[in-house]
Copies of this chain bind each other. A is one copy, B any other.
Amino acid sequence: MRRFVTDRARRAVSASLRGATRPAAPSPAPAAAPALSRPSPSAPSAMAAYMARAMSTSAAGTPPVSLDTINPKVLEFKYAVRGEIVTHAQKLEQELHKNPESLPFDEMLYCNIGNPHSLGQQPVTFFREVLSLCDHPALLDKSETHALYSSDAIERAWQILEKIPGRATGAYSHSQGVKGLRDEIAAGIAARDGFHASGDNIFLTDGASPAVHMMMQLLIRSEKDGILCPLPQYPLYSASIALHGGSFVPYFLDEETGWGLEVDELKKQVDEARSKGITVRALVVINPGNPTGQVLAEENQKKIVEFCKNEGLVLLADEVYQENIYVEDKQFHSFKKIARSMGYTDDDLPLVSFQSVSKGYYGECGKRGGYMEVTGFNADVREQIYKVASVNLCSNISGQILSSLIMSPPKVGDESYESFMVERDGILSSLARRAKALEEAFNSLEGITCNKAEGAMYLFPRLHLPQKAIGAAQAAGAAPDAYYALRLLQATGIVVVPGSGFGQAPGTYHFRCTILPQEDKIPAIISRFKEFHEKFMEEYCDVSCDEAPTSTTTESG
């Protein structure tokens, strides 16, 4: 590994943070400065245009597009997963490409986002065979096809085409998605939960994100409407609430109890929001957790359901990591299963479950497939959800097909079953090993404590930073964990997301690191990380270094 170039790195951090800051004054408004010198052959002369503009009182009322005249909701919201750190990483990658010797590392290691295939995870063969056939149905009539595709993939492609009116994979579908595919998904949900599910309740979407936006759009009327969200949270929620003009009502997950979700905390936050005149509309629960990786216990889920029922809240259950569980003693239970097991029916509780093809063992992020299962809304409101879905006509058909496949994978006896299970279990057990290796590595370091990744694709280690490091960050105008993450990036090429991008308890610092780099990369990541971290801590060592970490927490995991 190359030598750390600490001074250069520190200077670069400052420059980068300065560059990333929004300029104090917006750039001069372009339309106010007429293009007098520009050629304008077939148009009226620029001077004439300028005069026309100057004389038009109305034109003065329409400022050009600048940061001052765009929707302030757009300006305000943040989305750290693809924020400044990532933009900076992309610049470094270009630099590395142009001049491989210019940086103290050989390659970028993107641990910022749950994007498994970008780090070398291979697609599940059966799923891709079916997609490939559905994309080119003419293949199904050719005998040569049997030499290239498994027989059950061919059979499944036929079944899927039969569900699509006119077998037209190139047509817009029903705005909720192809009915036959929704029915297939509902059957998968029913098999998973042991409770009835209906294709009429499924809305297929381009990944889970648009589904979340649809619900926010439906529920939020003004900043007086609040949505309860965990802190730390996946910033899709804060971004979507901000874009739709609502109020983000946080509840804190308890790091000390492995990111526990306490109903007392929910109640406290709801009451506080209400005392400020906020109407709390919904509770967002991410299970398994993002960025925190915890898996909720069944008893805890029952209390959450009860809480929503009593408080009149819509339960928005982000269940996209339902297949990503890495510990023996935890199991995924959908909130719908929990609610039904408590005796609540479709009439009792508005509940939306989000699922995606981007996560699980499949990790097919680029396919943009997903769905929401919508229960407990009356018919009038359902119609409005349908109307919102219809404005974008439908989600992409490949994503719809893949959504049906993940909820109905090969079964015992199918030609692909065994190879499918080898692929599936290989990915899941490797993810579990990677989670464990990284978690142990983080916990072995002075100044870091890290909870167990029970599920999802992330670790969210806590940084116990020396005061001197916090001071250096403040001097650079950065959040302490953002400063740490940028220094890490510049020293090692490892891209993580600062905890401040997800929200965290005041005075605590974290970062989110995915468990997704391929296993053969993990040792190098750990040793690069370790080398950086020790130097960083040494560099900023202050009086407290000889004692305990500056802030303490119960070590767990």
Instruction: Compute how far the CA of A470 lies from the CA of B375 in the bound complex, rounded to whole angstroms.
Output: 41
- Could you give, for residues 368-387 of chain A, a 1 whenever the CB lies within 8 Å of some chain B CB and a 0 otherwise? 10000000011111001001
- Total copies of the chain: 2
Q: A274–B58 contact, CB under 8 A?
A: yes
Taking the closest CB of chain B, its distance from the CB of A205, in whole angstroms, is 10
Q: Which residues in B have their C-beta under 8 angstroms from that of A342?
A: 40-43
Residue pair A75, B384 in contact (C-beta under 8 Å): yes
Which residues, 268 to 303 on A, are CB-close (under 8 Å) to B? 270-271, 274, 279-281, 302
A145 partner, pick from B79, B148, B172, B281, beta carbons under 8 A: B148
In the complex, A188 has a CB within 8 A of chain B: no
| A480 CB → nearest B CB, Å | 23
Contact flag A128-B138 (CB < 8 Å), given A390-B79, A392-B210? yes
A70–B365 alpha-carbon span in the complex (Å):
31
Answer whether A384 and B67 are a contact pair too, CB < 8 Å, given A168-B118, A221-B72, A345-B38: yes
In the complex, are the beta carbons of B209 and A393 less than 8 A apart? yes
**8 interchain pairs, CB-CB under 8 A:** A27-B378, A38-B348, A59-B312, A72-B221, A77-B391, A117-B166, A170-B363, A217-B243
Q: How far is the CA of A64 from the CA of B58 in the complex (A)?
A: 45
Q: Given A380-B66, A380-B67, do A393 and B82 touch, yes or no (CB 8 Å)?
A: yes
Could you tell me if B117 and A56 are in contact, using CB atoms closer than 8 angstroms?
A: no
A147 CB–B CB distance under 8 Å = yes
Residue A523 at the chain B interface, CB threshold 8 Å: no
Report the minimum CB–CB distance from A382 to chain B (whole Å).
10
A136 — which chain B residues lie within 8 A by C-beta? 128-129, 131-132
Q: Let me know if A514 is at the binding interface, CB within 8 A.
A: no
| B391–A172 touching, CB < 8 Å | no
Among B30, B70, B310, B312, the residue within 8 A (CB) of A219 is B70
A218 interfacial by beta-carbon distance below 8 Å: yes
Contact yes or no, B270 A58, CB < 8 A: yes
Contact, CB under 8 Å: A310 / B53:
yes
A347 to B38, CA, bound (A): 10
Contacts of A42 in B (CB 8 A): 302, 341-343
Q: A79-B387, A138-B125 are in contact. Are A348 and B35 (CB under 8 A)?
A: yes
What is the CB-to-nearest-CB distance from A338 to chain B, in angstroms, rounded to a whole number?
Answer: 9
A240 close to chain B: CB less than 8 A: yes
Encoded as 1 (CB less than 8 Å from any B CB) or 0, chain A from 387 to 414 comes to 1101111111111000000000000000
The interface bits of chain A over 157-178 (1 if a CB of B lies within 8 angstroms of the residue's CB, else 0) are: 0000000011011111101000
B70–A118 CB distance below 8 A: no
The 3 nearest A-B residue pairs measured at CB: A132-B136, A118-B171, A117-B170
Q: Is B65 a contact partner of A381 (Cβ separation < 8 A)?
A: yes
Interface string of A87-116 (1 = CB under 8 A from B): 000000000000000000000000001011
> In this assembly, does A4 line the interface, its C-beta being within 8 Å of a C-beta of chain B?
no
In the complex, chain A residues 310-344 whose Cβ is within 8 Å of any chain B Cβ: 310-314, 341-344
Indicate whether A71 sits within 8 Å of B393 (C-beta atoms), given known contacts A306-B43, A314-B65.
no
Distance between Cα atoms of A274 and B60 in the complex (Å): 10
Which chain B residue has the least Cβ–Cβ distance from A339?
Answer: B43
The reply on A61 being an interface residue by CB < 8 A is yes
Nearest B residue to A236, CB-CB = B391
Please state if A171 and B365 are interface contacts (CB–CB under 8 Å): yes
User: How many Å from the CB of A26 to the closest CB on chain B?
Assistant: 7
| Contact status B377-A65, CB under 8 Å | yes
By beta carbon, the residue of chain B nearest A166 is B118
Nearest CB of B to A349, in Å: 9
With beta carbons under 8 angstroms apart, the residue of B69, B142, B343, B380 that contacts A39 is B343
Across the interface, name the chain B residue whose C-beta is closest to A216. B71
Task: Give CA–CA (A217, B239) in the complex, Å.
Answer: 13
Instruction: Tell whether, in the assembled complex, residue B381 and residue A67 are in contact, meaning their CB atoms are under 8 Å apart.
Output: yes
In the complex, whether A194 has a CB less than 8 A from a CB of chain B is: no
Contact for A396 among B240, B347, B367, CB less than 8 A: B367
